Copies of this chain bind each other. A is one copy, B any other.
């Protein structure tokens, strides 16, 4: 197997003779042990580690850039495209963001140990729920090195040990970042195995990581749909994930025109690639003739290709192509928008529940009852009234950061922050109580 470099601060350095499976098992066992220590680490200790890691990153700017340059050069030599190289690059501004991210997570309230709903039951026992870490979190991601910091900081704050498996093209950058995290852990007297970066680029490491339920409690894959599908299919460990982001804005008949135009513009054109970008615009028939022409002018000016239902085509003429059935369930991640005119709120809700991906959907309306029905009946991780779908992320929701977005319903739904990395156990207090 290929070994890229030794990782001086890690307990997990791999020898040439060790199989990938043995290596990953060793990482897993060390993570499990470290998770026991982290579970009882104090808030002050965890914050000290985060602040010290931030200081270490600040002091290691040159080293980070140097390591990143190695990755960028190798990437260019291996023919990575410009978008990929851009994601890989550690600019001074991105290093600032990582440092700021660590400091922000340090200032978030510690979720661990919170006890809620403690109350007396008829038998005389007192029962409540205590928030605890999940244990060990495995993160599998692609080229962005900043994910190393996002993931490690959220997991550390929530008392979880982490095993990070970044893209092979970012391995030098990730190891340089990991050295800074190690300095932070050491400063706070936390075990080095609290955050471990997988040192091999062998793909078998991923296969091992997702099939060790005895050492890993949950996997968070971040990256393209192909990666996430593969991991979900093969994992023997629970996976927090989202696959598609087919988001809708519905302009209700009671919409305010200005708000509708502002939101439908922003939801599509602020950025084309993110998963929370609108892919389909639904418009109530009674407002279509007033709202679609000014919106079309905006979209055309910004170069957005429009694909409409027959009524949309009739209304907008040559500005719009005919949408196929496939368009309604396509995530373009591109300047393309499908538009459909509907006759009622019911039809809009049905369309969203049928073609959407249960990610993020918004209604624009001034009508109280329509708003209330939309948020109740649309079955998505985020439902919005008079706001752009682009708000659906951890920072905007005040979670401090996000480890990912979930479109599953079990455990965590929507942007996943600290709380999604925790579980709750029952705590029972008695005074010698027995059951009769």
Q: Which residues of A contact B (CB under 8 A)?
A: 36, 39-40, 113, 119, 121, 123, 125, 127, 130, 132, 134-135, 217-218, 238, 256, 258-259, 262-263, 265-267, 270, 353, 362, 364, 373, 375-377, 379-388, 390-392, 396-398, 408-411, 413-415, 423-436
Contacts and interface: CB of A to CB of B under 8 A. Distances in A.
A60 to B, nearest CB: 30
B411 A410 contact: yes
A384 B435 CA distance: 13
A329 to B, nearest CB: 14
22 contacts: A40-B373, A127-B396, A134-B409, A135-B409, A217-B410, A262-B432, A262-B434, A263-B432, A263-B434, A270-B435, A381-B426, A382-B425, A382-B428, A383-B425, A387-B432, A388-B435, A391-B435, A392-B426, A397-B426, A410-B411, A413-B423, A415-B426
Nearest to A270: B435
A388 B130 contact: no
Contacts of A218: 410
Given A376-B39, A427-B375, A217 B409 contact: yes
A387 B426 contact: no
Contacts of A262: 432, 434
Given A39-B376, A256-B432, A382-B426, 20 more contacts: A39-B377, A123-B391, A127-B398, A130-B375, A135-B409, A218-B410, A238-B238, A238-B408, A263-B432, A263-B434, A362-B428, A382-B428, A383-B425, A384-B430, A386-B429, A386-B431, A387-B429, A387-B432, A388-B435, A410-B423
B258 A383 contact: no
Contact of A36 (B127, B134, B353): B353
Nearest to A115: B375
Contacts of A429: 384-387
Instruction: Give 7 nearest A-B pairs by CB, closest first.
Output: A387-B430, A259-B432, A266-B434, A390-B435, A384-B428, A411-B411, A409-B423
B270 A121 contact: no
Contact of A132 (B379, B392, B396): B379
Contacts of A384: 427-430
Contacts of A382: 425-428
Nearest to A265: B434
A125 B415 CA distance: 16
A70 B213 CA distance: 44
Contacts of A256: 432
Contacts of A259: 431-432
